[in-house]
Amino acid sequence: MADSCQPYDEITSQEFGELAADEFSYRFEPADEPDDVVFTGRCPRCRGEMTYVWPLIVVRRTVAAAPPDELEVPVICRCTREHPGADGEPGCGAYWNLRVPRPQ
């Protein structure tokens, strides 16, 4: 995979999603009555360590494409590596979708 010297580019691919699905971990916070799903791992494009927080309230109201027992979450790289063209924004611009079970 690529390194952190890549310029910022809002790009996606099926490979990004597949690699992230194999490598990312997730947890619901707080565990007893979750408000967020928190993803941690390495960006599949630049390989930078990252954490991505997705609010479940938004997901519960808008996501219908995933099966009813899953959430499909769009994730964007938020690594702290510097990428030319990022204009001070975190991440390399890569994005992908991850599926997780709905919290019980």
- DSSP class of 32: S
**Runs of H (alpha helix) within 2-98:** 14-23, 56-62
Residue 1: CA atoms inside 13 Å, Cβ hemisphere, count?
A: 15
For residue 60, the model assigns a pLDDT of 46
Compute the distance between CA of residue 57 and CA of residue 13 in angstroms, rounded to an integer.
Answer: 27
Predicted confidence (pLDDT) per residue in 37-67, tens digit = 999 999 999 999 999 999 987 644 444 466 7
Does the pTM of the predicted model rise above 0.85? no
Residue ranges covered by each domain of the chain: 14-101
Compute the distance between CA of residue 38 and CA of residue 40 in angstroms, rounded to an integer.
Answer: 7
